[in-house]
Amino acid sequence: MVTTTLKTTKSEEIFAAAQKLMPGGVSSPVRAFKSVGGQPIVFESVRGAYIWDVDGNQYIDYVGTWGPAICGHAHPEVIEALHKALEKGTSFGAPCALENVLAEMVIDAVPSIEMVRFVNSGTEACMAVLRLMRAFTGRDKVIKFEGCYHGHADMFLVKAGSGVATLGLPDSPGVPKSATSSTLTAPFNDLEAVKALFAENPDQISGVILEPVVGNAGFIPPDAGFLEGLRVLTQENGALLVFDEVMTGFRIAFGGAQEKFGITPDLTTLGKIIGGGLPVGAYGGRRDIMSMVAPAGPMYQAGTLSGNPLAMTAGIKTLELLQKPGTYEYLEKITKKLADGLLQIARETGHAACGGNISGMFGLFFTGGPVHNYEDAKKSDLSKFSRFHRGMLERGVYLAPSQFEAGFTSLAHSDEDIDRTLAAAREVMASL
């Protein structure tokens, strides 16, 4: 493979114009490549495992629009189903039979979900689930983990780190202290810290929310016994256990991390894959808890575009494709080959690294590790990651532009794509 410097003239022009029109030139911050330096590439189209930029460069994609593209981008069957649905209109704002179909699929698939409410994003799902936790228990406090992301609602924007975090000081200007004063934090994989929070706040904690496999601080799996321990602790304290499976739902396994690890939470949030690339989120769980949601019960939550027929259609078709035999075995096989390959290349080229995969979700940290939580993840060599990211981009491999994001494969990634990716990684790591 020849080392080329990417030609990205059009991307640069478009991004320069965008910066005058939109804050940072983007509609969501990580896209701006700030943490890896350089310019973001501007996409023209996506298909299968590939993306093309406006300058005509092709890349193997490991972002998958941040998770939804698990069947590969623009899967022909999803596109065809969308064409048909489009003919009937773009939004009803009224009940539609497609909601029943997707709801049944979600309820059948996800062990904790007996009833579900559709919303438009993961952020919305997490906001609503927190309100529901409080409504059901009559308690205001919530425990989250450092480095876990539950969308951008005020209550979840709590600084990830040490005592400041535990006090719930706002992470972002504009978030009032009152919004985060009930948010308690603990390091991921630290049961003792959770135990201590319950002891310090008796009968005040509505529940514990977490990414059962962390993807928003890089890829960090739960230690043996961690999820089990949280299940016991929440039950002992009359609190709810909530899995934020916006990323892991239908990715770690068809029934999410809760199926994979055999731990059933009380409530679950979903997003990303269940929208098949259109904007969808959902929250669901035990029937007695979900019965509190309006109009069945008094907890208010609503949405003009919720249950949108196009979004339901893309979600249904995506889940159908995932139900075919062998899909998760295939994701595990190619993703393990990629994750193991990257680690081996790092070893052979003399870089401290750790990482791994579960199903089609993977990570690589430039630190010897082990990484059990966000503090550990922060020991990564970020400047090395930036150079690695740039080198891979120049060789036609699109990785998430941050050390603190998991990577994703899809059913469209071939063995050959993985081989090409590893060959590129070998060149880049040898030059770091």
- Tell me which residues are annotated as active site: 149, 244, 272
Name the amino acid, one letter, at 148.
C
Of the residues 6, 242, 246, 397, which one makes contact with ligand PLP according to CB under 6 A: 246
Cα(271)–Cα(133) distance, integer angstroms: 19
- Of residues 282 and 411, the one with the C-beta less far from ligand PLP: 282
> Which two structure tokens, joined as six digits, stand for 206?
């509505």
Interface with ligand PLP includes 258 (CB under 6 A)? no
Enumerate the β-bridge partners of residue 361.
358, 408
Which window, 92-100, 117-125, 367-375, 384-392, contacts ligand PLP (CB under 6 A)?
117-125
Interface with ligand PLP includes 68 (CB under 6 A)? no
> Which two structure tokens, joined as six digits, stand for 247?
């990323």
**What would the x/- binding string for ligand PLP be over residues 209 to 228, using CB under 6 A?**
--x---xx------------
Would you say 143 and 208 are in contact if contact means Cβ atoms under 8 Å apart?
Answer: yes
Would you say 250 and 316 are in contact if contact means Cβ atoms under 8 Å apart?
Answer: no
389-400 burial string, b = 16+ CB within 10 Å, else e? Answer: bbbbbbbbbbbb
Interface with ligand PLP includes 150 (CB under 6 A)? yes
232-252 burial string, b = 16+ CB within 10 Å, else e? Answer: ebbeebebbbbbbbbbbbbbb
Interface with ligand PLP includes 102 (CB under 6 A)? no
Mapping DSSP to helix (H, G, I), strand (E, B) and coil, where does residue 282 land?
A: strand
Interface with ligand PLP includes 126 (CB under 6 A)? yes
Residue from 193, 257, 183 nearest 219 by CA: 257
Name the amino acid, one letter, at 370.
P
Of the residues 145, 149, 385, 388, which one makes contact with ligand PLP according to CB under 6 A: 149
Which window, 145-153, 161-169, 298-306, 316-324, contacts ligand PLP (CB under 6 A)?
145-153
Interface with ligand PLP includes 129 (CB under 6 A)? no
Which window, 89-97, 122-130, 170-178, 338-346, contacts ligand PLP (CB under 6 A)?
122-130
Output the smallest distance, CB 253 to ligand PLP, in A: 16
Q: Given the structure tokens 């990580």, which residue do they identify?
A: 30
Of the residues 61, 99, 190, 244, which one makes contact with ligand PLP according to CB under 6 A: 244
Q: How many residues bind ligand PLP (CB under 6 A)?
A: 15
Would you say 405 and 67 are in contact if contact means Cβ atoms under 8 Å apart?
Answer: no
Output the smallest distance, CB 121 to ligand PLP, in A: 4
Interface with ligand PLP includes 194 (CB under 6 A)? no
Residue from 335, 342, 336, 334 nearest 391 by CA: 342
- Of residues 311 and 354, the one with the C-beta less far from ligand PLP: 311
Of the residues 112, 121, 183, 335, which one makes contact with ligand PLP according to CB under 6 A: 121
Interface with ligand PLP includes 251 (CB under 6 A)? no
Output the smallest distance, CB 410 to ligand PLP, in A: 17
> Which two structure tokens, joined as six digits, stand for 100?
């029943």
Enumerate the β-bridge partners of residue 357.
362
Give the residues lining the site for ligand PLP (CB under 6 A): 121-123, 126, 149-151, 211, 215-216, 244, 246-247, 271, 281
